[in-house]
């Protein structure tokens, strides 16, 4: 009995790693079943679900023989696994036998607090504290409960009592337990200060304690405080505090990891990548494991750069395989890191649509650990995408055993709704728990909105969707005015005259077919119907056209033109345009070699129709329209996962309305420029007359009728969009006029849609009168036609004086003609605009040497170094990054230029 009492003391002081080993060893040696709930409790707290499930199976066998105290331990396990009803029933049974059991009272108080019976919970906690005043953790429960009730004074009083009690007993505690208690008490004080918005006091405390506490302790507290701030939806304050801490401790790995997580959460992807790469460097220097960092880096890249994500995952797996068992790195920890690395690799394969390979890796992980939660969830989601709904549901049921809220959320996404309202209320409790992502989980709230809508509780559903959108909106920077200006610029860049003068551009291929429209307008349904035809391949939402745009942006940055898409399309001559178009066709052919037509259904390609028709004048484009009110509600109820960006408008009804207005004006523009070339269909017509509309679309594309297209829901192909479930169903009409359920909430939508579209005036769209002047100039230079090259580059600079490459090339022309002093200012100007171009620096160095002015090159280097220091100083980056850039500038390799 004495040893079990010691194990329970470890629970009191949250020493779960020590508890796990001690409880497991004790059970093996003694067979004492009282150790089982404690071993399971420790396993679950440490994230070892496999171990927790192993002990749960044995508990189910022995539970009837548990004594009173072991039943209370089992209740704690039920609480931590969210089985609140079972915990409450068990505790009430205990208290009938022992009404003054202090720990049972406290744990029943947790159940009551969870059920929002706050007065009952407080009475239970206070009664327990009276019976057992030495349990410091109990005072923490009371502090948090008083904060929930907005009783700040009482919260501070209970915290003061906790501190006083801790001072009485801390000398009896092991050092680690004492340290944990101090951290816990400080965290409670932070919570009280945050509740009273005493942020200055919080910052002052950290500033005062920075020199009193060691680095590890201070940084751990700062990370905890940042997590609390994030839980209060104050991510910017959290980031600022962490940033200031990282400036003071530039080599602290913990702070930089947390900064990277916050950056990713807020959608600052490149900043997250840079921070993670710094974390990896720090981990290497400090001889700490890098595996988890590479896994996180892979996750950051996952939806943006498949190759980088794959490389990061491969590196994680390679490093995990090289790890050896030491005192610091147990066999179990290394095994877990290997599973994380395999999981990251499987996620990349799934993202690249290598589903069989991904499934093989997921299955390998689950063979090793059947309860590895991330793999269960991801494999279930992949099965959903592939149309294997039953297999997905089976996996999500297993998820529910480990993490009920996550399991129910996944099942709701698979349209497996809980039958009772009580379950939905419990999930909402979990959803509204603060975490790093904010004061609640937007994803869970979205799923709950769907569940309540299914129950026809439309006010409740809308309220949950409203809360979910408000949470996600905070994490995504969306500027409706900026989008409106961009659409206006696209219209200005692609007037009718542009196409009239460029009839010799593009490739005449009819391979690509584009299905466009507002998101949730029915584009997935249309694509699924088309893809059911034997000669048409549905490729889903491809990024080929956005990639072309990114490529144009990269080229303009590379040559330092100062121009951007869409302005720069005026400089594309027939040769370049043909090369770009053939590159797109090659990428499409790699998707399917035999299809006569390949469908890209990226909805927002409605913005890119001008570029599409420039590259492929004969491309077929199907524009899907739908009642804008239904589009709005469908978007508003869809979780697009804000951190992945791109759908920022969908979290606000006014912004959705404005986007609808922008879409309508753009489509009107395209139809005027390409009359009769774009097929417009209505979603509602597809639903009412599927066969008629299918025939119309197939005739437009140019293929014969096949009745099989009407069985589109039976097509075996992956679907990765928000419509993953719907396309597996036959045509249904319940989504028509769905907006009527929420008519009273649509005022902001109407205002946004009907508002006058007034973009900012476009005053800076300078155009090339003739495409390809810069490219022609380069060709002239390489052919030694120096006068012609000089003329072309001067023409470019007449229109764009800051064009770096034109300045540099004109400088080279002057060098070749022997005009060194005329060349140097032009070359310097170019290098200062494009400091990353090593070849230009090398060439300029040679020119300075030939002109016997080497000091001029050194002066340029000094100016560039100073600019870099200013740049990184403004960005609050550390000197290490500045020195890295300086080293790049210092690294010169000479080569001969053709003088």
Query: What tens digit of pLDDT does each residue of 86-112 get?
Result: 889 999 999 999 999 999 998 999 888
**Residue 722 CB partners (closer than 8 Å, separation 6+):** 519, 520, 638, 639, 640
What is the rounded CA–CA span in Å between residue 237 and residue 244? 11
User: CA geometry: angle at 117 spanning 112 and 120, to 5°?
Assistant: 75
3-state secondary structure of 527: helix
Report if pTM > 0.85.
no
- 745 DSSP 8-state letter: G
Give the neighbor-by-neighbor strand order of the sheet with 597-600.
Answer: 536-538, 597-600, 512-517, 620-625, 678-682
Q: Which helix (H) or strand (E) holds 788?
A: helix 786-799
Q: How many other CB atoms sit within 10 Å of the CB of residue 763?
A: 5
Q: Are 630 and 523 in contact (CB under 8 A)?
A: no
User: How far is the C-alpha of 430 from the C-alpha of 441, rounded, in Å?
Assistant: 8
Residue with tokens 């001690």, as numbered in its chain = 22
**How open is the CA angle 563-565-568, to the nearest 5 degrees?**
55
User: Distance (Å, rounded) from C-alpha 697 to C-alpha 711?
Assistant: 16
CA distances from 855 to 750, 843, 887 (A): 66, 15, 19
Longest Cα–Cα distance in the chain: 103
Element spanning 854, H or E? helix 854-874
CA torsion sign for 572, 576, 582, 586 is negative
Please identify which residue in the block is written with the tokens 């007449």: 798
The pair of structure tokens assigned to 325 is 């068992």
Taking the C-alpha atoms of residue 566 and residue 772, their distance in angstroms, rounded to an integer, is: 16
* Beta pairing class for 620-625 and 512-517: parallel
Instruction: Report H helices in 627-735.
Output: 628-636, 653-673, 683-688, 690-701
8 A C-beta contact, residue 716 and residue 387: yes
CA dihedral 410, 413, 414, 419 (to 10 degrees): 80
Residue with tokens 């039953």: 390
Q: Could you read off the pLDDT of 424-435 as tens digits, one per residue?
A: 887 888 788 777
d(CA 470, CA 440): 10
At residue 651's C-alpha, the angle toward residues 649 and 653, to 5°, is 80
Residue 148 is predicted with a pLDDT of 87
Within 8 A by CB and 6+ apart from 839, the residues are none
Torsion 742-748-752-755 (CA) sign: positive
User: Which residues have a Cβ under 8 Å from the Cβ of 721 and sit 6 or more positions away?
Assistant: 524, 540, 541
Contact 829, 805 (CB under 8 A): no
Say what the pLDDT of residue 798 is. 94
Q: What angle do CA 103, 227, 348 make, to 5 degrees?
A: 110
The first and second tokens of residue 576, run together, are 């370049």
Q: Two tokens at 432?
A: 């509204």
Please give the Cα distance from 562 to 800 (Å, whole number): 8
**For position 718, what pLDDT does the model report?**
55
Helix (H) or strand (E) holding 679: strand 678-682
For residue 894, the model assigns a pLDDT of 29
Asked if residue 739 lies in contact with residue 629, where contact means CB atoms within 8 angstroms, the answer is yes
What is d(CA 776, CA 809) in angstroms, rounded to the nearest whole number?
12
CB 23 within 8 A of CB 39: yes
How many other C-beta atoms are found inside a 10 Å radius of the C-beta of residue 117? 14
* Model pLDDT, residue 265: 82
Read off φ and ψ for residue 785, nearest 5 degrees. Answer: -95, 75
Tell me which H or E stretch contains 752.
Answer: helix 747-754
Q: Are 400 and 407 in contact (CB under 8 A)?
A: yes
Tokens 């004495």: give the residue. Answer: 2
Question: Alpha-carbon distance 267 to 473, whole Å?
Answer: 11
What are the backbone angles phi and psi of residue 522, rounded to the nearest 5°? 115, 15
Q: Is 462 helix (H, G, I), strand (E, B) or coil?
A: helix
- Look at residue 848 in the predicted model and tell me its pLDDT: 92
Mean pLDDT per 10-residue segment, the chain (899 residues): 79 82 88 88 84 83 84 89 86 93 91 88 90 82 88 90 83 78 85 83 86 89 88 83 90 93 82 91 92 93 87 94 83 89 93 90 92 90 84 88 82 81 81 76 87 90 91 80 94 94 92 96 92 91 88 91 93 93 93 92 95 97 96 91 68 94 96 96 93 96 93 60 50 69 93 91 87 93 95 95 95 94 94 89 92 90 77 42 36 31
Q: In angstroms, rounded to a whole number, what is the distance separating the alpha carbons of residues 622 and 601?
A: 9
Asked if the bond preceding 566 is cis, omega within 30° of 0, the reply is yes
pLDDT at 733: 54
**Could you tell me which residues come within 8 angstroms of residue 862 by beta carbon, excluding any fewer than 6 positions away?**
none
Q: How many of the other CB atoms lie within 10 Å of CB of 591?
A: 15
774 vs 272: CA distance, rounded Å: 36
Tell the residue number behind the tokens 């007034």, with chain if given: 758
Contact 8, 26 (CB under 8 A): no
Distance from chain centroid for Cα 617: 36
Residue 899: what pLDDT? Answer: 33
Q: Are 464 and 425 in contact (CB under 8 A)?
A: no
**Within 13 Å of residue 333, how many CA atoms lie on the same side as its CB?**
12
For residue 773 the two structure tokens come to: 């002047």
């Amino acid at each position: 009995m004495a040893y079990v009492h010691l194990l329970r003391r470890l629970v009191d002081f949250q020493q779960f790693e020590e508890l796990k080993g001690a409880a497991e060893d004790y059970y093996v040696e003694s067979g004492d079943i009282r150790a089982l709930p404690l071993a399971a409790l420790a396993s679950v707290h440490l994230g070892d679900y496999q171990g927790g499930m192993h002990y749960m199976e044995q508990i189910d066998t022995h539970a009837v023989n548990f004594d009173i105290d072991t039943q209370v331990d089992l209740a704690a396990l039920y609480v931590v696994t969210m089985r609140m009803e079972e915990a409450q029933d068990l505790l009430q049974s205990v208290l009938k036998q022992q009404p003054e059991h202090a720990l049972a009272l406290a744990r029943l108080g947790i159940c009551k607090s969870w059920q929002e019976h706050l007065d009952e919970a407080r009475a239970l906690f206070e009664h327990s504290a009276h019976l057992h005043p030495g349990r410091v953790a109990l005072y923490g429960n009371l502090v948090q409960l008083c904060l929930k009730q907005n009783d700040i004074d009482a919260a501070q009083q209970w915290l003061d009592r906790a501190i006083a009690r801790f001072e009485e007993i801390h000398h009896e505690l092991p050092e680690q337990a004492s340290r944990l208690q101090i951290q816990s008490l400080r965290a409670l004080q932070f919570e009280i200060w945050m509740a009273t918005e005493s942020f200055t006091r919080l910052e002052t405390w950290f500033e005062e304690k920075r020199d009193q506490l060691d680095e590890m302790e201070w940084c751990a507290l700062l990370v905890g405080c940042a997590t609390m701030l994030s839980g209060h939806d104050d991510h910017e304050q959290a980031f600022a505090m962490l940033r200031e801490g990282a400036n003071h401790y530039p080599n602290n790995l913990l702070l930089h990891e947390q900064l990277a997580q916050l950056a990713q959460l807020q959608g600052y992807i490149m900043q997250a990548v840079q921070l993670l790469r710094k974390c990896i460097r720090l981990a290497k220097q400090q001889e700490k494991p890098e595996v988890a960092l590479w896994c996180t880096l892979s996750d950051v890249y996952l939806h943006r750069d498949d190759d980088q994500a794959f490389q990061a995952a491969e590196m994680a797996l390679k490093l995990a395989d090289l790890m050896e068992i030491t005192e610091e790195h147990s066999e179990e920890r290394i095994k877990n890191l290997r599973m994380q690395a395999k999981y990251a690799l499987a996620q990349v394969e799934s993202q690249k649509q290598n589903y069989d390979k991904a499934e093989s890796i997921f299955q390998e992980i689950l063979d090793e650990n059947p309860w590895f939660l991330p793999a269960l969830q991801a494999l279930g989601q992949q099965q959903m995408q592939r149309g294997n709904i039953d297999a997905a549901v089976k996996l999500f049921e297993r998820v529910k055993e480990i993490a009920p809220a996550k399991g129910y959320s996944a099942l709701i996404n698979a349209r497996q709704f809980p039958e009772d309202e009580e379950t939905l209320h419990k999930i909402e409790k979990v959803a509204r728990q603060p975490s790093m992502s904010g004061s609640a989980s937007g994803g869970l709230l979205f799923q709950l909105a769907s569940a309540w809508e299914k129950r026809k509780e439309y006010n409740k559903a809308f309220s949950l969707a409203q809360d979910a959108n408000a949470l996600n909106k905070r994490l995504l920077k969306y500027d409706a005015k900026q989008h409106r200006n961009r659409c206006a610029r696209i219209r200005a860049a692609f007037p009718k005259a542009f196409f009239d003068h460029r009839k010799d551009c593009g490739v005449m291929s009819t391979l690509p077919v584009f299905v466009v429209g507002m998101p949730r307008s029915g584009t997935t349904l249309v694509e699924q119907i088309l893809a059911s035809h034997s000669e048409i391949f549905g490729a889903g939402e491809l990024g080929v056209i956005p990639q072309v745009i990114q490529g144009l942006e990269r080229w303009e940055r590379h040559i330092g033109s100062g121009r951007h898409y869409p302005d720069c399309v005026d400089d594309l001559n027939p040769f370049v345009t043909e090369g770009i178009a053939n590159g797109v066709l090659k990428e499409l052919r790699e998707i399917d070699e035999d299809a006569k037509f390949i469908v890209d259904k990226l909805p927002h390609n409605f913005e890119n129709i001008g570029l599409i028709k420039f590259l492929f004048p004969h491309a077929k484009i199907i524009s899907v329209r739908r009642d804008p009110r239904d589009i709005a509600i469908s978007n508003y109820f869809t979780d697009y996962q804000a951190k992945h960006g791109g759908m920022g408008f969908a979290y606000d009804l006014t912004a959705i309305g404005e986007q609808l207005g922008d879409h309508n004006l753009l489509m009107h523009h395209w139809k005027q420029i390409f009359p009769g070339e774009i097929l417009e269909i209505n979603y509602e017509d597809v639903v009412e007359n599927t066969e008629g509309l299918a025939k119309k679309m197939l005739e437009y594309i140019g293929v014969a009728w096949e009745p099989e297209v009407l069985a589109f829901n039976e097509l075996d192909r992956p679907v990765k969009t928000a419509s993953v479930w719907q396309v597996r169903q036959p045509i249904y009409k319940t989504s028509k006029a769905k907006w009527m359920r929420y008519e009273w909430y649509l005022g902001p939508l109407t205002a946004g849609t009907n508002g006058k579209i007034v973009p900012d005036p476009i005053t800076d769209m300078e155009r090339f009168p003739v495409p390809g002047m810069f490219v022609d100039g380069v060709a002239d230079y390489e052919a030694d036609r120096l006068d012609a090259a000089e003329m072309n580059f001067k023409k470019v600079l007449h229109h764009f004086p800051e064009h770096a490459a034109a300045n540099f090339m004109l400088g080279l022309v002057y060098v070749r003609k022997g005009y060194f002093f005329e060349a140097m200012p032009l070359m310097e100007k170019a290098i200062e605009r494009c400091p990353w171009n090593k070849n230009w620096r090398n060439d300029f160095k040679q020119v300075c040497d030939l002109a016997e002015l080497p000091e001029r090159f050194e002066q340029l280097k000094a100016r560039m170094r100073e600019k870099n220091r200013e740049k990184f100083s403004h960005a609050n980056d550390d000197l290490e990054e500045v020195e890295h850039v300086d080293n790049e500038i210092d690294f010169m390799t000479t080569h001969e230029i053709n003088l």
